[in-house]
Amino acid sequence: MNNTTNKRYYSPQFSEQASVSVRRLAWAIGKPMPAAVDHMVSLIASIVDTKNICFACLDKTRCLSCGFYKPPTPPEQAAQVTGVSL
């Protein structure tokens, strides 16, 4: 793996409870803590309605890098072009 794909951009300060929980999740999946956090974000992105996340997002410049981003389906693209609401 190259350094570009593994670059870390943010080191959150977890509460003690969150840190303990993430550590145990990491042990359970046999990964380091940053990989466990990546796994949790991917899991959350597969569960939540990502449209709400994207609507609330304050940085529309990194959509293609975001785990919550889902490319519009052809009907959604057509609606955007025509101005029709789905």
pLDDT of residue 20: 93
Alpha-carbon distance of 52 to 28, in angstroms, equals: 30
pTM over 0.75? The answer is no
- Yes or no: say if 72 and 80 are a contact pair by the CB < 8 Å rule: yes
- Give residue limits of the domains in the chain: 16-82
Q: What is the mean pLDDT of each run of 10 residues along the chain (86 residues)?
A: 56 86 94 91 89 92 89 70 59
Cβ partners under 8 Å of residue 11, min gap 6: none
